[in-house]
Amino acid sequence: MADNETDIEGQPRIAPDAGAADDARPWGEQTRVVGNRRPRVDAWERVSGAAVFPSDLVLPGMLHAAVLGSPHANARVTAIDTSRAERMPGVYAVISRNTPEANPDWDYFSAHSGKLFYDHCRFEGDAVAAVAAQSPYQAHDALRAIQVEYEILPFVSDELEALKPGAPEVHSGGNRAGTQTYARGNIEQGFSEADLVLEQRYRTASEMHTPLEPHGCVARWDGDSLTVWESTQGVYAVQSKIADVLKLPLSRVRVIGHYVGGAFGSKLRTDKYAIIAALLARRVNRPVKLFMTREQTLLTQGNRPPATMTVKAGVKKDGTLTAIQFSGIGASGAYKAGGTSLLDWLAKDLYRCANVSTELTDVYINAQPARPFRAPGYVQCSWAMEQMMDALADGLGMDPVELRLRNIPAGTQARDDKPYTTDGLRLCIEQGARAFGWQEARAAAAQHSKGHLQRGVGMAAANWYAGDGGPPSTVIVRLYADGTANLNMGASDIGTGTKTVMAMVVAEEFGVDPDAVQIEHADTGTTQYATPSGGSKTVPTEAPAVRRACLAVKSQLLDMAAQQLGRPREEIVFDGDHLRTTDGLESLAIRELDRLRKQKVVVGVGQRQSNPQGVSITPFAAQFCEVEVNTLTGEVRLLRMLGSNESGRVINRLTWDGQLIGGITMGVGYATTERRVLDGPTGKLCNKNWHDYKLPTTLDVPAEVISEPIMLTDEQANIVGAKGLGEPVTIPTAGAIANAVAHALGMRLYDTPINPVTLIERVAAREA
Amino acid sequence: MCPRKRKPPVTPPAANPDGWAGFTRRAFIKTWSAGTLTLAVGHNAMSSETAQPDETLAADEPVQLTLDVNGRPHAVLVEPRWTLLHVLREELGLTAAKSGCERGECGACTVLIDDLPRYACLTLALEAEGRRIETAEGLMDGGQLGQVQASFMKEDGLQCGYCTPGQIMAAEGLLRQNPEPTFDEIRRGMSGNLCRCGAYASIFSAVADAATHRKG
């Protein structure tokens, strides 16, 4: 509740915000702009080709850089000779460990310190040297002329092998990167109360982000000031990392990221490339563009770690869950990077269960460090838990929807049972099942099956722990004399439609069209502080701050109107782009305010207030899926999918539906096409391109995707009533597909991906 | 200006728009790995791996050529190994076509060459001389969006927007070949373009919308 909101600790309240919005409530049902289907305010730029992505940038005198990576899974660099490369046409600079002045300290997630170009390359692709040249062709020519001598070391690329005694050690001291346990209730008692106990092991392959725009940046120095145009989810996060590594004051590092060609968690932080680009640019005193090759993005720029999960669960005949025991093994990669982050969260939080114990083991392997990937941990855990729920339902002879509905918790069990602000999980499952025609489709699947074409229907549900958003965030709104507005915020729009949502908030408040809102964003030099766009927290973090800034402007407009009309402030209200007296006798447009016309601009500052204590603001989801499995070819045809989401207020229905469509597509890839393959004999990545690493294409997605939002306003969440959506839309997809395939086949596949090869193997094994 | 020894430009007969595509990826890789670029004259010769080249160019020795891009001739000095994508983006400043993989897997670089969608990252600038090259910038009429672009905007056939100009050119090419595609034809026609944001369902709607409005 707004009343419970308190100022952010240590953040002074800025004058224009004072008294503006303390009693503000989310909008009522009647809104003019919010809730509409609204094309993006920057759609013209994106479809015309005019949008300048960081990789599109061409600056005068700009050189092109390229990075040489170690070709081995684990190797020590014993010598580097760059002399031939330095003499090649068009080459301006070569840096490596031989250039100590251009080899600062670098650490991957702080657990292990090293250098930018480190002697010990613990994963394939780690940087060994870099070149700046006139053209990218010349830069890559020069890379091939660099002579590196490696001492090839033993490696381990499988996390289960890595835990065995005698396995090669990624770091001395063993391959356990961390362990974590959790327990509530009494697990043994829980199992003893159960009428049915099942135990199963599940394995999910590593998934790689591969956004269409490769990772990279353009760096330029003006004296001792550095400007970096980076493809990123968070300009301020990039700024602090660069300043830290290069020992620069924050005020000497400006990071701009107006557009970003996809990210999915892999561009929350920056990487060595930004440091390399800056060092090369300083060395040659010219701007330098450095974008990773596609192969390098697959080798070094992020992955969802693989997971091996064992779930043991007990249930009573009436469907009450009595015990869940979850153990998960994940792989950080060569450096500690959250290989089991949030991996057990759904097991301990999604369904009501008094007795839960979990154990997580994070493992070092000789592969690139993991990165957060759209709902880290949750997507893996959902694959296991949602299949277990269906297996329990099968065992009890209960409908899978019914089993889930009998285990809806009232609050977040992993966080002291804090009550949820909505009954979103139940709403998503019930409303989604109804809209999908669950019972009819489930019953009709058998009669639609003919010979080798078997029909199946499945579902899965989810929540997401971070969809509440929160401070810090500061936004400035300026209202111009003609009633149009400028919005200044630091957040990136990573393709989710952030700019459009925020423009709609401003438009709602000032009674203008969203196109009348000019947006400055994602520039540490000119826009306000924002955390990276990730965690499904951008709308619930930024939109309330945007609205508060608008309310701060409106408070000043009320004073102006009161003065002009000679009425007390309390007798004046806003009506679209007008102010009118409550008696209806007088009205004037905002742009007719004398003070505004004289002053030219009114400034409002909004800050994101803290979330209310004592409640859990959580988004929920459920997905339903119908498939046809060809038992001769192993193909799975996705006939239709429905996604039901409760993320509070729907601000832009068009981009809301787009999030769902995209989340489902990504989940289809996780369930059916994507898998990182590290070669057994060499530890090298086998599928380091999009030919071999299969993303879903137009031919792999369901012909029909239905979006079924739960239309409600989460009154307690914040002053716009919205929660995050970007992750909840992808968490249940893979599990729903697996359950539908199991329904079709009458047997389960426990490992991702379910592709024609893995499926037909199981079918053949059953028939044999 | 660098001296040039190249004589006739590569101009396969326009009557057979597919003929030139016989410059196979295999042959390309073969010549590429040899460090020089073998340039054969005549599309029949290009389509045969046993063709005898009548001329060999050093891969990095610049040559002058004229590219017809969006209806305007552009005289450019290019290294024979440069892709059309590199020349469009870095030399001509036309950055709608994006670089996603540089190996013909994602379609972010899709342009139209003589009305057909082509991967500009797998097309040498040299190969494109004498052809009509169109990029997303070329679909615009001043500041007005072309129909396919307007439909992508209306149906939100995009998220981050990086693959979008390529998707739009693939759709434009599809609709020029087949003005009234079925759903399945749209799906197949767009299957050469990856969208990691996963906006495919909205892309289908956008292409269908564009087809409807182009008819009118």
- CB-closest option in A497, A689, A696 to B105: A689
Full strand arrangement of the beta sheet holding B132-134: B72-78, B63-69, B132-134, B110-113, B116-119
Residues of A in Cβ contact (< 8 Å) with B140: 48
CA–CA separation, A140 vs A293, rounded Å? 10
Q: How confident is the model at residue A19 (pLDDT cuts 50, 70, 90)?
A: very low
Distance CA B128, CA B136 (A): 17
pLDDT in tens, B189-211: 999 999 999 999 999 999 999 99
Intrachain domains A60-154+209-300 and A421-467+616-768 with the same fold: yes
Q: How many CB atoms lie within 10 A of CB A502?
A: 29
**Contact: A58, B98; criterion CB under 8 Å:** no
pLDDT at A495: 97
- The per-residue pLDDT for B20 is 44
**Residue-wise pLDDT tens digits, A320-354:** 999 999 999 999 999 999 999 999 999 999 999 99
Is the CB of A137 less than 8 angstroms away from the CB of B81?
A: yes
Q: How far apart are CA A536 and CA A469, in angstroms?
A: 8
Per-residue pLDDT, A11 = 41
Cα angle A13-A17-A18, degrees, rounded to a multiple of 5 = 75
> For B176, how many CA atoms within 13 A lie in the half-sphere containing its CB?
14
Judge whether residue A476 has pLDDT over 60: yes
Q: Report helix, strand and coil shares of chain A as percent, to nearest 5.
A: 30, 25, 45
Question: Which of the four pLDDT bands, split at 50, 70 and 90, describes residue B16?
Answer: very low
Secondary structure (3-state) at A521: strand
Backbone angles phi, psi at A742, to 5 degrees: -65, -40
Asked if B197 and B159 count as a contact pair (C-beta separation under 8 A), the reply is: yes
Residue A159 backbone phi and psi in degrees, to 5: -70, -25
Would the CB atoms of A49 and B94 count as touching at under 8 Å?
yes
CA–CA separation, A703 and A298 (whole Å): 29
The reported pLDDT for the residue numbered A14 is: 41
A199 burial class (0-12, 13-18, 19+ CB within 10 angstroms)?
exposed
Q: Which residues contact A584 (CB under 8 A, 6 or more apart)?
A: none
Nearest-CA neighbor of B107 among B95, B119, B124, B123? B119
Distance CA B65, CA B11 (A): 13
- Contact: B96, A48; criterion CB under 8 Å: yes
pLDDT tens digit string along B21-60?
A: 434 333 344 444 444 444 444 344 344 455 566 678 888 8
The upper half-sphere exposure of residue A341, i.e. CA atoms within 13 Å in the direction of its Cβ, equals 19
Euclidean distance between CA atoms A300 and A296, whole angstroms: 6
pLDDT in tens, A650-709: 999 999 999 999 999 999 999 999 999 999 999 999 999 999 999 999 999 998 899 999
Q: What is the pLDDT of residue A330?
A: 98
Q: Distance between CA atoms of A575 and A589, rounded to whole angstroms? A: 9
Is residue A200 within a helix (H) or strand (E), and if so which, with residue range? strand A196-204
Q: Is the pLDDT of residue A20 over 80?
A: no
Closest to A286 measured CA to CA, from A482, A90, A127, A155: A90
* pLDDT at A2 exceeding the cut of 70: no
Torsion-angle region of A561 (φ positive above 0: left; ψ -120 to 50: alpha; else: beta): alpha
Q: How far apart are CA B152 and CA B204, in angstroms?
A: 9
- What residue of B is the nearest CA neighbor of A64? B90
A729/B contact by beta carbon, under 8 A: no
The Cα–Cα gap between A98 and A103 comes to: 8
| Range B63-75 average pLDDT | 97
Is there a contact between B160 and A50 (Cβ–Cβ < 8 Å)? no
Of chain B, the end-to-end C-alpha distance in Å amounts to: 50
Q: Architecture of domain A14-24+38-51+469-607 in CATH?
A: 2-Layer Sandwich (3.30)
> pLDDT (tens digit, 9 = 90+) per residue, A724-751?
999 999 999 999 999 999 999 999 999 9
Q: How far apart are CA A473 and CA A491, in angstroms?
A: 9
Q: To which H or E segment does residue A340 belong?
A: none
Which single residue is written with the structure tokens 């992750």? Answer: A727
User: In chain B, whose CA is at the least distance from the CA of A90?
Assistant: B60
Q: Which residue has the tokens 């043991």?
A: A312
Q: Which pLDDT value is given to residue B50?
A: 53
Q: How far is residue A308's CA from residue A359's CA, in Å, rounded to a whole number?
A: 12
Task: Express each pLDDT in A420-444 by its tens digit.
Answer: 999 999 999 999 999 999 999 999 9
pLDDT at residue A207 greater than cutoff 50: yes
Q: Does domain A421-467+616-768 have CATH number 3.30.43.10?
A: no
As a whole number, mean pLDDT of residues A39-55 equals 98
| Alpha-carbon gap, residue A539 to A649, rounded angstroms | 10
Q: CB-side exposure of A473: number of CA atoms within 13 Å? A: 33
Does A696 touch chain B if contact means CB atoms closer than 8 Å?
Answer: yes
Which of B60, B108, B137 is opposite residue A212, by nearest beta carbon? B108
Q: Give the model's pLDDT for residue A4.
A: 36
- b/e code A149-183 from CB counts within 10 Å (16+ = b): ebeebebbbbbeebbeeebbebeeeebebbeeeee
Q: Confidence class of residue A23 from pLDDT cuts 50, 70 and 90?
A: confident
The per-residue pLDDT for B58 is: 86
Residue B60's pLDDT is 82
**Burial track A424-461 (b if 16+ CB lie within 10 A, e otherwise):** bbbbbbbbbbeebbbeebbeebeebbeeeebbbbbbbb
Neighbours of A135 (CB within 10 A): 18
Q: What's residue A371's pLDDT?
A: 97
Could you tell me which residues are beta bridge partners of residue A457?
A626
Largest CA distance in chain B: 52
CA separation for the pair A694, A700 (Å, rounded): 11
Touching check for A501 and chain B: CB below 8 Å?
A: no
| pLDDT digits 0-9 by tens, A545-598 | 999 999 999 999 999 999 999 999 999 999 999 999 999 999 999 999 999 999
Average pLDDT over residues A287-314: 98
d(CA A270, CA A331): 21
Q: Would you call B98 and A89 a contact, using CB atoms and an 8 Å cutoff?
A: no
Chain A residues near residue B160 by CB distance under 8 angstroms: 211-213, 259-263, 494-495
* Radius of gyration for the alpha carbons in chain A, expressed in angstroms and rounded: 27
Residue B159: pLDDT band by 50, 70, 90 thresholds? Answer: very high
Output the average pLDDT for chain A: 95
Q: What is the pLDDT of residue B56?
A: 81
Contact yes or no for B198 and A39 at CB 8 A: no
Q: Which conformational region is residue B57 in: left (phi greater than 0), alpha (psi within -120 to 50 degrees), or beta? A: beta
User: In this predicted structure, what is the pLDDT of residue B176?
Assistant: 98
- Cα-to-chain-centroid distance, residue A415: 22
Is A48 within 8 Å of chain B by CB? yes
For the whole model, what pTM was predicted? 0.93
**Residue in chain A lying closest to B157 (CA):** A658
Distance from B177 to chain A by nearest Cα, in Å?
A: 19
**Residues A513, A504: contact at Cβ < 8 Å?**
no
Distance between CA atoms of A610 and A473, rounded to whole angstroms?
Answer: 10
From the list A125, A122, A157, the residue with the least C-alpha distance to A681 is A157
Q: What is the DSSP letter of A523?
A: B
Q: What's the rounded mean pLDDT across residues A383-392?
A: 98
What CATH number labels A155-204+305-407?
A: 3.30.365.10
Residue in chain B closest to A264 (alpha carbons) equals B197
Q: What is the pLDDT of residue A149?
A: 98
Q: Where do the structural domains in chain A lie, given as residue ranges?
A: 14-24+38-51+469-607, 60-154+209-300, 155-204+305-407, 421-467+616-768
Give CA angle at A399 (A394, A402), nearest 5°.
125
Out of A49, A58, A260, name the one closest to residue B137 (CB): A49
What integer pLDDT is reported at residue B47 of this predicted model?
45
CA distance B41 to B55: 8
Residue B30 DSSP SS3: helix
Per DSSP, A616 falls in state: B
CB contact under 8 A, A495 and B201: no
Dump pLDDT digits (tens) for A603-620.
999 999 999 999 999 999
Average pLDDT on A342-367 reads 98
Q: How far is A493 from chain B (nearest CA, A)?
A: 8
Query: What is the token pair recorded at A104?
Result: 């600062």
Among residues 466-485 of chain A, which lie with CB inside 8 Å of chain B? none
CB-CB contact of A723 with A424 (8 Å): no
d(CA A380, CA A363): 16
CATH number of A60-154+209-300: 3.30.365.10
- Contacts A89 to B, Cβ<8 Å: 60
Token pair listed for B29: 């890789």
Helical ranges in A301-373 per DSSP H:
345-349
Give the residue-averaged pLDDT of A232-248: 98
Q: Which pLDDT value is given to residue A658?
A: 98
Residue B8, pLDDT > 50, answer no
CA contacts within 13 A on the Cβ side of A548: 30
Q: Which residue has the tokens 């010769």?
A: B45
User: Are B199 and A661 an interchain contact pair (Cβ–Cβ within 8 Å)?
Assistant: yes
Contact predicate A633/A500, CB 8 Å: no
Q: Read off the pLDDT of residues A94-147 as tens digits, 9 standing for 90 and up.
A: 999 999 999 999 988 655 679 999 999 999 999 999 999 999 999 999 999 999
Rg of the Cα atoms in chain B: 18
Smallest CA-to-CA distance from A547 within A503, A610, A495 is with: A503
Q: Report the alpha-carbon distance of residue A501 to residue A436 in Å, rounded.
A: 28
pLDDT band at A22 (very low <50, low <70, confident <90, very high): low
Domains identified in chain B and CATH numbers: 19-138 (3.10.20.30), 140-215 (1.10.150.120)
DSSP H helix total and E strand total for chain A: 19, 32
CA distance A672 to A111: 35
Among B102, B149, B204, beta carbon nearest to A294:
B102
